[in-house]
Chains A and B, each alone.
Chain A
Amino acid sequence: MATDGAEAVSGALEGIRVIEMGEGVSAAFCAKLFSDYGADVIKIETPKQGDKTRRWGPFPGDVSHPEKSGLYFALNTNKRGVTLDVSVPKGREQLLRLLEDADVLIENNLPKKMKAWGLDYQTLSAANPDLVMISITPFGQTGPYADWNAVDLNAFHLTGTGSRYCGRPGEAPLQHGTFSAEYYGAYTAVTWGLACVLGRTLVGGGQHLDVSCAEAVAATFVGAQNIGGYAQDGIYDKRTGVGMSLAAPATILPCKDGYVWMIALETAQWKGIVKAMGDPEWAQIDLFDDMFVRAQNADMIYPLLEEWTMQHGKQELMDMLQGNGCPATAVYTVAEAADHPHMKERGYIVEVEHPELGNMRVLGAPIHLPECPGGPRRPAPLFGQHNEEVFCKQLGLEAVAFEELKSEGVL
């Protein structure tokens, strides 16, 4: 394992060797889940520009600098970093040597690109039959869209999520304000990928995992609750701009200092809201005990609820409603979520020292394992930081050959 003054903590995935070769969010986040839980991850970047997240920021003071991107920093903790041009024979040769001893390759290049580089699964598995190759692309390795140029936004809107669940009728379907299909795809990939690593003996070797970010969301989110009904009855719903159509309240409502997510499905939860409101007369109708009836009368109920929420702050509302057994919550801003005492108590936000950014705050490990805690301990690698360590010390490349590859722009 790498140096950099890391403490010797035994992680859940210690001993697993991972090579990451990709751009942007999906491959990097998938590999980060490996590295934050103890696997040895080597991130390969192109020698010319490096990972595009180095150019995305956010940067301190909005001044662009390839070593100061906040997103790059967060997505690449605990990894070692090398630069390698795998599109030329000499670079490809180094990659193949790295893969000989690797358990996992994580990549998110278009299939046609991997093929052109001579790095398709067939070729790689011949060299290392135990390799688990995890490919995460917007649309997957097969099908008419497999080689389409696409980013997170394109993948997200191919899932039906925006059309069905987010936005106002007559206006554009909406994405979450983040790379949500790529995060979803990466979590899916690490789960299936780790299972395939653990199961290699059982199934007789490594395999290729074909993860489509769009397909993961389309199947498990939108498909799960819509496809059966549509296939049977030929009808389907679209976004309302208001909230869930089967239940009410199930929406965001404004309040004195922001917004609350107001939701009550079960009768007791609805009664909790009524009680928190001080038992107003309009809410005493027994029929409203049923969430479907409330949904049919949402036009009437929402303005009345809003009249009440507008008199209170979001945290106050959350406390009152939660206290009465209703699962409503404040819509926290990023600052309110991050600075909540809860986060401090759980140690979710950790600090990691980075040579260019200084002492940085970063989100920690979402899965807490008391026997083998994970989380960011080492900063993201500087550009090509571990070239010598990996190519010379690990692979035994001679100093002369190393310098030659450097001057040829392969490293």
Chain B
Amino acid sequence: MTSSEKQLPLSGLRVVNFGREWLGPVAGQTLAFLGAEVYRVESQIRVDINRTLPPFGGGVRDHNRSLQNHAGWAGNGSITLNLKEPRAVELAKELVAKSDVAIENFGPGVMEKLGLGYEALRKTKSDVILVSMPAAGLTGALKNVRTYGMSLSSITGLDSLTGYADGPPVPMENAYADPLGGIIGAFAVLLGVSYRERTGKGQHVDFSQQEGIMQMMTPAFMDYALNGRVAGPIGNRHPLKAAAPHGVFPCAGEDRWISIAVSELEEWDGLVAAMGKPEWASDQAFASLESRVENIDVLHEKLAAWTIGFDDAALADKLQEHGVAAAPVLNVADLLNSPQYKSRKTFIEVDHPLGFRETIYGAYVKTSRSNIDVKPGPVMGRDNGHVFQDLLGLSEEAIQELIEAKVIF
């Protein structure tokens, strides 16, 4: 390995992460994967809910063993500061002064109340980049809205499109918006860094989670803007009716499915050939894309009657051989056994310092030059020694005193 290969793209970028729950830590993790030195600030005073969720490593209920969330937090360092204590706030500010970026996902005004608002941080470091990631932005009528990632999706309109065609909305049972928002938050950081590299100026960046997720709604928004139409749930259908079939079809076995999408004529011919040219497929009702879209319900019924006899993976292979866009629908267990993810080392096993093995996700983007190093989930306060002693220059006695006073806590 040459020396440059050891460097990562963001090596040398120091980030103080006041983020919490799922989104904030993912923002820090994304930057850390790429080489940034990230310190997450947390406290025993109010342990983050994500540290309390089962299952736990080795079945031992402990804030440092929540497997569910180690993957999402891996890469973040951790220091413990009880920000209700003025001395803790001062230490946080000192750390920011020695860093490039601070990120947070509290509601608007919380950082100010803690004494860590943009103006306060700017006094300690004039070109600081503060990235705020509130639910609906720092300004506007909805700025104080409280959400989790799941309820956040509903004020973007996304949930109103999710459900079986023409039925009621069906809840997405976890917060898609959280890890995605964390990744977008990391992009927000890099926009700030990019501008500062060119001009030397820092700024207070306002990333609205609502607006970030709303971008995904663009097809429905444009139809509303152009035609005044208000979309409802569309199931697995193409958002702009540009394909048919376009759905998920049952296969042999319990809860086994295959996704199939056909838009081009060659793909339709491929599907018909794969099915052994059944008579129904030559019906005028399915002769063109337009007519297939129009008769999509009947088409899907016919197709489902055919797919149900096949193994999902074998059928996907067969359809791919005929040039048809098809893939098995995976469940959680399949993720770990999928030849595709195995081959790409999507999930990796690492040794946790507390003495158990845990499976987390690795570098989910492959970079040809940089060797991404993935660490296990952080133990609370893992970096206290390094940060307070090496970076901030406190003596061991001073640190001990702060621990006893529950400032470092």
Contact = CB atoms under 8 A, between A and B. Distances in A.
B310 interface: no
Interface string B327-360: 1111111111011110110110100000000111
Interface residues of B, number: 163
Nearest to A314: B154
Given A149-B320, A236-B332, A172 B235 contact: yes
19 contacts: A52-B242, A70-B226, A121-B368, A144-B339, A167-B164, A184-B180, A190-B187, A192-B365, A198-B194, A203-B5, A215-B346, A221-B174, A222-B335, A261-B171, A265-B148, A322-B144, A329-B151, A337-B155, A368-B138
A354 B389 CA distance: 59
Interface stretch (B213-221, B275-283, B378-386): B213-221
Contacts, number: 556
A223 B231 contact: no
Contacts of B217: 178, 334, 337, 363
Contacts of B110: none
B359 A232 contact: yes
B361 A224 contact: yes
A335 interface: yes
B230 A334 contact: yes
Given A151-B325, A227-B336, 16 more contacts: A12-B191, A14-B198, A37-B191, A157-B327, A159-B335, A177-B158, A177-B161, A202-B9, A231-B358, A240-B173, A251-B171, A322-B144, A329-B147, A338-B157, A361-B225, A369-B205
Main secondary structure of the interface of A (DSSP, over half): mixed
A340 interface: yes
A237 B358 contact: no
B151 A195 contact: no
Contacts of A281: none
**Residue among B54, B217, B239, B250 facing the most chain A CB atoms (10 A cut-off):** B239
A183 B9 contact: no
Contacts of B396: none
By CB atoms of chain A within 10 A, which of B9, B180, B246 has the most?
A: B9
Interface in A349-406: 357, 360-372, 374
B408 to A, nearest CB: 26
A380 B60 CA distance: 55
Contact of B203 (A149, A183, A326, A371): A371
Contacts of A202: 4, 7-9, 11-12
A346 B139 contact: yes
B191 A263 contact: no
Given A145-B340, A180-B216, A340-B142, A331 B154 contact: yes
A374 B205 CA distance: 12
Nearest to B327: A154
B218 A219 contact: no
Contacts of B231: 177, 333-334
A56 B162 contact: no
A241 B170 contact: yes
B123 interface: no
B37 interface: no
B141 A340 contact: yes
